[in-house]
């Protein structure tokens, strides 16, 4: 069993004041609504009900915290790409995400979820800019890879890596991989990255 399988819901925070103490290790997950962020989290933790999956984009409106152990957490950030919500609410989400990314000392890395069929939208680029501004590594999951043919998936992966100048490192800068929660594509690769950022064994089986 992988250590991420121990993840359990801890709390939903409506503001930074509601977050757990800023210590230990955290990995944040971000992505446009409908990019498959909740499905990716559930697949990584092997827990179908860990993160709420909804057919209505934009349901993640809070900072949802999942605990691995007393010092390690996964944080699901609000996604607002397709969300049909008032501009004021969307601005509030942006402010909360901005504050979290810029002030959270425990944050060790950002996993950015992109739909492999529609990568590098405005929101994706904004989150990449955030990770660069705060000097945190960003690992991109090109989700729903099972919706593409093998050749299409490879072309997309290479194109995104080239545009972002991804060097394959998960310690600094940007790394990119294909991922499918449905077909279980890229699960071990992604788990290794997250485990490393959490200071955990990187063996995908542990």
How is the chain split into domains, by residue range? 3-197
Q: Tell me which fold the domain 3-197 belongs to.
A: Rossmann fold (3.40.50)
Tell me how far apart the alpha carbons of residues 155 and 177 are, in angstroms, rounded to a whole number. 12
Tens-digit pLDDT profile for residues 78-106: 876 555 666 676 677 778 889 999 999 99
**13 bridge partner residues:** 63
Asked if residue 206 has pLDDT above 60, the reply is no
Asked if residue 18 has pLDDT above 50, the reply is yes
Residue 63 neighbours by CB under 8 Å, 6+ apart: 12, 13, 14, 16, 18, 19, 75, 76, 77, 78, 96, 100
Claim: this prediction has a pTM higher than 0.75: yes
Measured in whole angstroms, how far is the alpha carbon of residue 168 from the centre of its chain? 17
Choose between 87 and 191: higher pLDDT: 191
Tens-digit pLDDT profile for residues 104-155: 999 999 999 999 999 999 889 989 998 999 999 999 999 999 999 999 999 9
Mean pLDDT of 174-196: 96
Tell me how far apart the alpha carbons of residues 153 and 179 are, in angstroms, rounded to a whole number. 10
Q: What is the mean pLDDT of the chain?
A: 87
């Amino acid at each position: 069993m992988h250590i991420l399988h121990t993840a359990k819901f801890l709390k939903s925070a409506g503001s930074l004041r509601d977050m757990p103490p800023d210590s230990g290790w955290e990995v944040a997950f971000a992505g446009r609504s409908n990019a498959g962020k909740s499905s990716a989290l559930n697949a990584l933790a092997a827990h179908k009900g860990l993160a709420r999956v909804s057919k209505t984009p934009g349901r993640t409106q809070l900072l949802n915290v999942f605990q691995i152990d007393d010092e390690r957490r996964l944080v699901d950030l609000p996604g607002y790409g397709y969300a049909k919500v008032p501009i004021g609410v969307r601005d509030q989400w942006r402010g909360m995400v901005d504050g979290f990314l810029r002030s959270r000392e425990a944050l060790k890395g950002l996993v950015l979820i992109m739909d492999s069929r529609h990568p590098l939208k405005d929101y994706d680029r904004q989150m990449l800019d955030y990770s660069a501004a705060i000097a945190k590594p960003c690992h991109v999951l090109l989700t729903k890879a099972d919706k593409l043919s093998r050749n299409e998936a490879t072309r997309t992966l290479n194109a995104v890596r080239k545009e972002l100048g991804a060097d394959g490192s998960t310690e600094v800068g940007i790394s990119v991989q294909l991922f499918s929660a449905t077909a279980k594509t890229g699960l071990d690769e992604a788990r290794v990255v997250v485990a490393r950022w959490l200071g955990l064994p990187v063996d995908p089986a542990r």
